[in-house]
């Protein structure tokens, strides 16, 4: 994936959902924070996975450069995932979400 590709592939709402996921939020937490249903959160995450060509939350976070250090969210980093795509910086993703 080329630099900037994940930003152009994802909608602002999908980036918001992914940013909350990066902070360790559950689907229920995300739904409450964004005032949407859990089903809508799941749909956004499914669309994110499809756009980024990944199959898990961890892979999506890694591809977008949103993966937290192990000491912050150990449950997210326990799985061992190797992603051969370019990683975006968290600042770039957050900048896109803020727009």
What integer pLDDT is reported at residue 44 of this predicted model?
96
The residue with greater pLDDT, 66 or 51, is 51
Structure tokens at 38: 């859990």
Q: For residues 47 and 65, what is the distance between their CA atoms, to the nearest angstrom?
A: 18
Contact 20, 28 (CB under 8 A): no
pTM of the full predicted structure?
A: 0.63
Q: What is the pLDDT of residues 71-87, one digit of tens each?
A: 444 444 333 333 333 44
Q: For residues 98 and 50, what is the distance between their CA atoms, to the nearest angstrom?
A: 23
Q: What is the pLDDT of residues 28-47, one digit of tens each?
A: 999 999 999 999 999 999 99
- Give which of 91, 82, 93, 95 is closest to 48, Cα–Cα: 93
């Amino acid at each position: 994936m080329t630099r900037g590709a994940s930003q152009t592939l994802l909608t602002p709402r999908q980036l918001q959902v992914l940013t909350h996921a990066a902070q360790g939020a559950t689907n229920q937490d995300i739904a409450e924070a964004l005032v949407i249903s859990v089903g809508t959160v799941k749909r956004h995450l499914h669309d994110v996975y499809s756009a980024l060509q990944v199959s898990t939350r961890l892979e999506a976070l890694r591809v977008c450069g949103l993966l937290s250090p192990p000491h912050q969210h150990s449950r997210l980093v326990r799985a061992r995932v190797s992603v051969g795509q370019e990683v975006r910086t968290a600042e770039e993703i957050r900048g896109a979400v803020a727009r």
